[in-house]
Amino acid sequence: MKILVFVENFMGPTLLFIYNEIMELAKTNDVLLVTTNRIKGSEKDFPFEKLTIIPFTQNRVTRKINWLLEKNDILLNRKNHAFKHKLNEVITTFKPDIIHGHFGYESLILLENIDSPPCPIVVSFHGYDASEMLLRKCYVKKLNYYFNRFNITPIYVSNYMRKDMENAGLNLKKARLLYYGTNTDYFKPEENPEQHKKFTFLQISSFNEKKGHTYTLQAFRKFLNLVEDKTHYKLILAGGGQTLEQTKNETNRLELSNFVEFTGVITYKETYPLLKQADVFVHHSITSATGMKEGIPNAIMEAMAMELPVISTWHAGIPELVEDGVNGYLIEERNVEAYAKRMLDILHWKRIPANRFKIIEKFSIESHYKELTNIYLNSK
């Protein structure tokens, strides 16, 4: 099968799940990746040979007018003559059987500039594009225009996300559910794990508001006040991003510097060693002030594949992955008291083989790829 994949900016660490999907597809298909921008330095960490860069540039005046119209929810316009010409030239030459765009908002660059497509299109929604962006009427209207006009199959990553999209008025008659996939061959527990010197809580994620690091720190502070030997416990916060320094300042304010470790940005290969030394995985996802929500965090799936118990929140699609009291605990967003209590409750939990089984059954890269292939074939 010939597949044209569109990703606006290729490629950053937070989009590793998209890269893994592309690489899996490329094993048995002819995949052409189209992007507007190859992020500097990404060639080493995210190599891909069959890649075409089509710049999307606008003059200063046009860019400002479009920004103002979109900001005031009047009109969303992502048309671009130069991009359109080159895009359709690439499509005509490559002759794809399927076109796959990632993120609803970014995929409008594709939809706004493509001539009547010669093949079906699928559009994957991942998070902000199916939460915060749905508050913009011009965005929903534009998506529905193309959903009704072209042979497009929207893909959502959780049933919760589908409800949000339906409530916003999107036409989802052809939409399909596709859970993310985890490499269970890579993320697997050791047969005879070493005894940890300290009981370790771990969060791996980018640092931004919706990841809830502040609440994790506040809960960990309260948790330490409930245990006898505070030196026996540690919290590792891995990743980088816009709220990293703010989180470090909060750590100092709460007098947690001796108990919290920041790793900085980590690579995919560095994720596994961190999960090996963890006893519990935490991920306090919240709805941001602007309405942004998660899909289902891949980091939780990787932790569960390692049989780790999880503490997370009743947020977006997470309850479709983590069942409260079975795979770990779920708490209400921003409920620090309940969070600290569950940190205490989970100390007696051991590794959970059922967590890994659930990932293998419903959230493995194999099951993801199989379902994605079915979506492609049934979109024709």
pLDDT of 192 > 80? The answer is: no
Strands ordered across the beta sheet of 328-331 = 260-264, 233-238, 199-204, 280-283, 310-313, 328-331
CB atoms within 10 A of CB 374: 12
pLDDT of 255 > 90? The answer is: yes
Calculate what percentage of the chain has a pLDDT beyond 70: 100
What pLDDT does 206 receive?
Answer: 94
| 268 pLDDT tier (thresholds 50, 70, 90) | confident
Cα(352)–Cα(284) distance, integer angstroms: 20
What pLDDT does 286 receive?
Answer: 97
Q: Give the DSSP letter string of 289-320.
A: TT----S--HHHHHHHHTT--EEEES-TTGGG
| 194 pLDDT tier (thresholds 50, 70, 90) | confident
User: Which of 52-66, 283-297, 320-334, 344-358 bottoms out in mean pLDDT, i.e. has the lowest?
Assistant: 52-66
Average pLDDT over residues 347-370: 95
pLDDT of 380 > 80? The answer is: no
| 75 pLDDT tier (thresholds 50, 70, 90) | confident
Q: In terms of CATH, what superfamily is 2-181+364-378?
A: Glycogen Phosphorylase B; (3.40.50.2000)
| DSSP-H helix ranges across 228-335 | 244-253, 268-276, 298-305
What pLDDT does 13 receive?
Answer: 80
* Helical pair 298-305 and 353-362, crossing angle rounded to 10 deg: 130
Token look-up 């950053």 returns 12
What pLDDT does 10 receive?
Answer: 94
| 118 pLDDT tier (thresholds 50, 70, 90) | confident
Q: According to the 3-state scheme, what is the secondary structure of 56-93?
A: CCCCHHHHHHHHHHHHCCCCCCCCCHHHHHHHHHHHHH
pLDDT of 305 > 90? The answer is: yes
| 379 pLDDT tier (thresholds 50, 70, 90) | confident
Cα(21)–Cα(302) distance, integer angstroms: 15
The CATH code of the domain at 199-362 is: 3.40.50.2000
- Quick one: which of 297, 143, 99 has its CA closest to 206? 297
Q: Please give the span between the terminal C-alpha atoms of the chain, in angstroms, as a whole number.
A: 12
> For the chain, which residues make up each domain, given as ranges?
2-181+364-378, 199-362
pLDDT tens per residue across span 223-241: 999 999 999 999 999 999 9
Average pLDDT over residues 334-362: 97
277 touches 200 (CB < 8 A): yes
> What rounded mean pLDDT belongs to the chain?
95
What pLDDT does 196 receive?
Answer: 82
pLDDT of 211 > 90? The answer is: yes
295 touches 279 (CB < 8 A): no
pLDDT tens per residue across span 239-249: 999 999 999 99
| 70 pLDDT tier (thresholds 50, 70, 90) | confident
Q: Which contacts qualify for 366-374: CB closer than 8 Å, 24 or more apart? A: 366/181, 366/184, 367/179, 367/181, 368/21, 368/24, 368/178, 368/179, 368/180, 368/181, 369/21, 369/24, 369/25, 369/181, 371/176, 371/178, 371/179, 372/21, 372/25, 372/178
- Do the domains 199-362 and 2-181+364-378 match in fold? yes
pLDDT of 193 > 80? The answer is: no
171 touches 331 (CB < 8 A): no
pLDDT tens per residue across span 287-304: 999 999 999 999 999 999
Cα(326)–Cα(238) distance, integer angstroms: 25
DSSP 196: P
110 touches 145 (CB < 8 A): no
224 touches 257 (CB < 8 A): no
207 touches 240 (CB < 8 A): yes
